[in-house]
Structure 1
Amino acid sequence: MDTEIRHCRTGDADSVLDLTDDCAAFASSRGSGLLHVFVPHATAGIAILETGAGSDDDLLAALSDLLPADDRWRHQHGSRGHGRSHVMPALVAPYATVPVLDGQLALGRWQSICLVDLNADNGERDVRLSFLVSAR
């Protein structure tokens, strides 16, 4: 298994960061197999969705409706509503696995691989990309 860490800056606001180009570059010379994308943080997730047509903003709006940034959360250190960030990975998993065929991500036409981050207290993220070679 080949693996490497990518460092990302998500900033101090809710964000959806498109990782597709980084993922494609990582997988491009590795043949066929599976790309596993994992974010080793308790307050971030990986989503496969359309970006650029409003779906990324719609996802953030839906998460805001489901997980309001208020004082209802028992986990209450950090900024107001920080506890919601610790619940979010139960809804947006911290990983995704994508087939790779001859070095190309086998995504649908409008699919992108994205880092989802609601934690305004930590604007620096690591993403682990791992490539598992298919058995022949």
Structure 2
Amino acid sequence: MLAAVSPTMNVSVETESRSTTVDVTDRIAAAVPDYLESGTCTAFVQHTTAGLVVQEDEPRLRGDLESFLGDLVPDEGHAHDELDGNADAHLRAALLGPDVTIPIVDGELALGTWQSVLLVECDGPRTRTVTVTTVGDADRH
């Protein structure tokens, strides 16, 4: 095995509403180089009003997640709203975090049976950029 760092890859994600989730698992998996046998994959959303989570990609649960964030953070009444009216989106994204790290085993993302990587949009619709970096051991063949 040889240590390998793959080139960083950017994935573009279009969102269609202010609050939504988009399954980006396949796009992140496609960024894992074929020669990488084991290691880690980190995906990072380059925005302060969106986040990434590992969660089940089931429509009702995705709706529950959006409702949960709305219940935790009210839409209005924040100081930052005086600037651009999206403080709620920043606060919701802060709860989620901008990144996830997933093990790579046998060249594949080692996600559990029901796990997917979801981009959670808090201030759309927008075009979001997810940066994917992998580090690990490359097969010599």
TM-score by length of 1: 0.88
The corresponding residue for 1:104 is 108
CA 1:57/1:132 → structure 2, altered by over 3 Å: closer, same or farther? same
Aligned partner (choices 112, 119, 127) of residue 115 of structure 1: 119
- What pairs with 1:1-136 in structure 2 (closer than 5 Å)? 1-2=5-6, 3-27=8-32, 29=34, 30-70=36-76, 72-76=77-81, 77-79=83-85, 82-120=86-124, 123-134=126-137
4+ runs deviating over 3 angstroms: none
- Contact kept? 2:39, 2:134, Cα under 8 Å: yes
Which of the two has higher C-alpha Rg?
A: 2
**Equivalent-residue separation in structure 2 for 1:46 and 1:32 (angstroms):** 22
Higher strand residue share? 2
Q: Which stretches in structure 1 are left out of the alignment for 5+ residues?
A: none
Please give the root-mean-square deviation of Cα atoms over the aligned residues, in Å. Answer: 1.9
Q: Which stretches in structure 2 are left out of the alignment for 5+ residues?
A: none
Secondary structure at 1:60's aligned position in 2? helix
Tell me the number of residue pairs that the alignment of Structure 1 and Structure 2 aligns. 132
- Contact kept? 1:11, 1:124, Cα under 8 Å: no
| Deviation readout 1:25-78 (Å, 9 max, x if unpaired) | 2225122110001001111110000012521111101001011222x1111133
Identity among equivalent positions (%) equals 33
TM-score by length of 2: 0.85
Secondary structure at 1:51's aligned position in 2? coil
